[in-house]
Structure 1
Amino acid sequence: MRMLHTMLRVGDLERSLSFYTEVLGMQLLRRKDYPSGRFTLAFVGYGDEADNTVLELTHNWDTSQYDLGSGYGHIALGVDDIQAVCDAIRVKGGKVVREPGPMKHGTTVIAFVEDPDGYKVELIQLSSRG
């Protein structure tokens, strides 16, 4: 077995695609409209689905926002230079909600950014996993 994807419901698909592709550097891998169900699925990631876990963005045409609730945590991305990535995210209009620094009760350097729907994305400095 292997993990295939994680799904997020998004209120504005174009805005979310812009964030994940332009701000976080993912590629749009595939996209399909389902008119009879009034939804669109878009898959984004850093490589082909055959070899990589990807993110499914589900846009229900009649829903413009969701209550994220208290159960959702975050998506995590490993990065080589966390400060440079945060700087680049800010330049591209992304929102850094926790600046790079050691995690509480540990040494791993992390930061958090927020997507347009309020989902948190954790950035983890790969060279300093603790």
Structure 2
Amino acid sequence: MTTHVKTSEEEEDLFTRGVSNLWTKVNHIALVVSDVGRSLQFYTDVVGMRQILRPNFDRHGAWLTAGNVDIHLIKGRPAVHSDDDLIVSHVAIEVDKMDELRVRLAKLGTKSRKNISVPNPEENNQAVDQAFVRDPDGYYIEFCNCAGLDEYLHQTPVGEKTWNLGKAHAVASASKLIRRMADDSRRMIEKKKEIYQKKLDHGQLDLSVDYEEDSDDEECAVDKIKLGNLVQRRKVYGDITQNTQDVAELEGLLKRYKNDVPRVIRHLEERVWRKGTHTYIPPAFYDRDGTFYQPPSFEMKLSSLTNTDAHRDQ
């Protein structure tokens, strides 16, 4: 009996994701802008990028370089954020001296916003600082001192000295298992939605009240630790707990379901399906004039959410 010995290519395929072994780096980021000249002035005179040669395309545009990645400006219809919060697509640029950056931006007449909900692991010696600037069309450029954070995130885990094929294969297998579990969870959520919709279609639900029945009237003291965890979750943008009015309602739901958190979450899921929208409360930030600003909540229709978006609430 002949034993097949796997080649290096076959071994690599065991833990290669998608086409990751076929590309090397990000070449450029393309932005559709309404006025190429105006945007070119901003990215050269304010951001400080350098314009480079551009082939003779059948459309107007300009190319710039930031050193490690290029920016391509294309004339057209911009697709930008409404500017009412900082949950925005953006290009991030590393800065060593954030204070000097803000002084320079002020001299250039360019205002910025400061994000206050930024990751800052205790092991990272330097607090992460961000300044968001908007270009003439509304695209965001983030200046940040994020090099220290990157070093922390990419360091070798404690106790790990080497990375071998066996460990890589184990990680790949675990990743496949997690993906299968995520797919199973999404299918379960979709099945629950179908059951709920059938009841709704047949008039078996009263939309004016919460569907799930109350627990009995026996008094139940609220678990302060579970309440604290739910309150913390409510600060996470798009979490299912943001579909409550306030902390008092979370406390009431814990009391109602005798501190059974899964039943509280199921209650909120049914509320979301019933109203057909999901509540989002964006994180607060410091506005361009330095004032603290909490963006208002808004509703997003469930039809506009992908399965992945819905599952991320869990």
> Under a length normalisation based on structure 2, what TM-score does the superposition of the two structures give?
0.34
1:46 aligns with 2:66: yes
- Aligned-partner Cα distance in 2 for 1:113–1:72: 11
Q: Structure 1, unaligned stretches of length 5 or more?
A: none
User: Within 5 A, what are the aligned runs for 1:57-76?
Assistant: 57-60=73-76, 65-68=77-80, 73-76=89-92
Indicate the SS of the match to 1:123: strand
- Aligned-partner Cα distance in 2 for 1:74–1:127: 17
Larger radius of gyration: 2
TM-fit CA distance, 1:90 = 2.5
Q: 1:22 aligns with which of 31, 34, 45?
A: 45
Q: 1:86 aligns with which of 102, 108, 123?
A: 102
TM-fit CA distance, 1:44 = 0.9
Query: Cα deviation per residue 1:30-57 (whole Å; 9 max; x = unaligned)?
Result: 23553xx3x223111233xxxx211111
Contact 1:32 1:42 in 2 (8 A): no
The structure-2 alpha-carbon separation of the partners of 1:108 and 1:67, relative to structure 1 and needing over 3 Å to count, comes to same
Indicate the SS of the match to 1:18: helix
1:12 aligns with 2:30: no
TM-fit CA distance, 1:59 = 1.3
One-letter amino acid of the structure 1 residue matched with residue 141 of structure 2: V
Contact 2:64 2:71 in 1 (8 A): yes
Identity over aligned residues, as a percent? 30
The structure-2 alpha-carbon separation of the partners of 1:28 and 1:81, relative to structure 1 and needing over 3 Å to count, comes to same
* CA RMSD between the two structures: 2.6
Corresponding residue of 2:25: 2
Higher helix share: 2
Contact 2:36 2:61 in 1 (8 A): no
- Aligned-partner Cα distance in 2 for 1:89–1:44: 20
- Aligned-partner Cα distance in 2 for 1:127–1:105: 13
Deviates more, 1:8-17 or 1:80-89: 80-89
Q: 1:108 aligns with which of 124, 128, 144?
A: 128
The count of corresponding residues between Structure 1 and Structure 2 is 117
Contact 1:32 1:41 in 2 (8 A): no
One-letter amino acid of the structure 2 residue matched with residue 43 of structure 1: W
Structure with the larger RCO, 1 or 2 (CA within 8 Å, 6+ apart): 1
> Under a length normalisation based on structure 1, what TM-score does the superposition of the two structures give?
0.75
Q: Structure 2, unaligned stretches of length 5 or more?
A: 1-23, 121-126, 153-314
The structure-2 alpha-carbon separation of the partners of 1:3 and 1:45, relative to structure 1 and needing over 3 Å to count, comes to same
- Aligned-partner Cα distance in 1 for 2:147–2:36: 33
